[in-house]
Amino acid sequence: MSEDDGIEYEPVSVKEVLGEMKDIAELLIDLSYSSVLFENAALAEEVLALEDEMDLLQLQARMSLVMAGRRPEEAEALAPVFGIVGAAEKISDAAGDIAKVVLDDIGLPPALRGVLPDAVETLARATVSADSPYADRTLGDINLETETGVRVLALRRDDDWLLNPDRETRLQAEDILFCRGTEEGLARVYATITDEPFTTPEMAEQPLEDLDRAVETVALMKNMSELAVDLAYGSVLFDSPDLAEEVRELEVEVDALQSRFEVWALRAAKTVDDPVSIRGLLHIAASTEVISDAALEISEGVLRGVGSHPVVEAAVQESDEIIDRTTVASGSRLDGTTISDAEVKTRTGMHIVAIRRESAATDGRTKYQISPPPDTALRAGDVLITKGTRAGANRLADWAA
């Protein structure tokens, strides 16, 4: 950022800036991997634009924090907040590096696109056409998420971003929407928004065993890094050393996967027709490992016993995609069913990140079940750590009550 940009200190709400940085960081992860999956340069360009926005936000946050920490006790309390600001910026930079794999045409093996669909929810960038039935209507009027299962993650109007569009948000022609949902629902919504069909690239088969293993390892690293970011913000929100410890274990596991990936990639380089095609895979793996490191930095204050600063807790709770904690009550709609039978994700939009089950504790320590599979049974007393919208959190709370 040059001096010509004219950036100077202005009083800002640290809570709002932190919340916006969290939302942008999570959106950047989605956009960057989707740009790779769909070979979509337009999505990759949006990643770089958001990365610039993040640079400005982190500068504003740092200046405000410096002004706030005037006494030793204030500096001590704010130290973890600086770590969270830096971690969000690292996630932003890593997402930018992933997007550059597409923009710089670094090269990717076709096998990657055969594995990533299971690791990436379908995401589309759609420009509202003047003739779209959605033009000049609010999201509440359209009832998009309820009717189609597709959610608008963000909206860009010219150079202005809206990261938390709500029911009152009115869509205009030429708005650029970033939508996520099932491929079937997204195809229908995309066609309605743009008057054009939604197309995805064909997934080529790749029979090479070593390359397959390298690709599957990257996909696993991506899932674990994203989970680590969710749990890290949860550990801050709930001031939970247990969740922070899970983040540390995930970061160690991603490091181990990175080492295994390098072995598979080097072996595959000897057998593929064009070893240069593996370069992009190396870039993605390195950036994914940075994301898991950043997640650990978010949890650092909780791990060290410093605790969560109230402004961070408020920022996480009030951000676009919130993290919530819900206890399953005896006799509730969730008690005695499974995640898939209850259709939690489909009907509420909430993703169960982890389950804390007191009765499953060993050695006197409560254990979390991380990324529980769909057939996981739910029972009274289970504490669900979930991620999604406020409306979804309210619906799930009703089900659990």
Looking at the fold, whether 159 and 268 belong to one and the same domain comes out as: no
- The average pLDDT across 302-317 equals 76
Looking at the fold, whether 218 and 112 belong to one and the same domain comes out as: yes
- The average pLDDT across 264-289 equals 83
Q: Does 179 or 370 have the greater pLDDT score? A: 179
- pLDDT, averaged across the chain: 82
Q: Which of 266, 291, 315 is the last residue of a domain?
A: 315
Confidence category of residue 100, pLDDT binned at 50, 70, 90: very high
Q: Can you give the CATH number for the domain in which 130 is found?
A: 3.30.70.1450
Instruction: Report the range of poorest mean pLDDT among 42-46, 238-242, 272-276.
Output: 272-276
Looking at the fold, whether 292 and 306 belong to one and the same domain comes out as: yes
Q: Is the pTM here over 0.85, yes or no?
A: no
- The average pLDDT across 298-318 equals 78
Looking at the fold, whether 113 and 159 belong to one and the same domain comes out as: no
Looking at the fold, whether 257 and 327 belong to one and the same domain comes out as: no
Looking at the fold, whether 376 and 257 belong to one and the same domain comes out as: no
3-class secondary structure for the chain? CCHHHCCCCCCCCHHHHHHHHHHHHHHHHHHHHHHHHCCCHHHHHHHHHHHHHHHHHHHHHHHHHHHHCCCHHHHHHHHHHHHHHHHHHHHHHHHHHHHHHHHCCCCCCHHHHHHHHHCCCCEEEEECCCCCCCCCCEHHHHCHHHHHCCEEEEEEECCEEECCCCCCCECCCCCEEEEECCHHHHHHHHHHHHCCCCCCCCCCCCCCHHHHHHHHHHHHHHHHHHHHHHHHHHHHHCCCHHHHHHHHHHHHHHHHHHHHHHHHHHHHHCCCCCHHHHHHHHHHHHHHHHHHHHHHHHHHHHHCCCCCCHHHHHHHHCCCCEEEEEECCCCCCCCCCEHHHHCHHHHHCCEEEEEEEEEEEECCEEEEEECCCCCCECCCCCEEEEEECHHHHHHHHHHHC
Looking at the fold, whether 146 and 212 belong to one and the same domain comes out as: no
- The average pLDDT across 111-121 equals 55
Q: Which of 161, 194, 227 is the last residue of a domain?
A: 194
Confidence category of residue 94, pLDDT binned at 50, 70, 90: very high
Whether the predicted pLDDT of 242 surpasses 70:
yes
Looking at the fold, whether 235 and 258 belong to one and the same domain comes out as: yes
- The average pLDDT across 44-63 equals 90
Quote the pLDDT of residue 99. 93
How many domains are there within the chain?
A: 3
pLDDT of 166-199, one tens digit each?
Answer: 788 899 999 999 888 777 888 899 999 999 988 7
Domain that holds residue 102: 10-117+204-315
Q: Is residue 5 domain-resident?
A: no
Quote the pLDDT of residue 190. 92
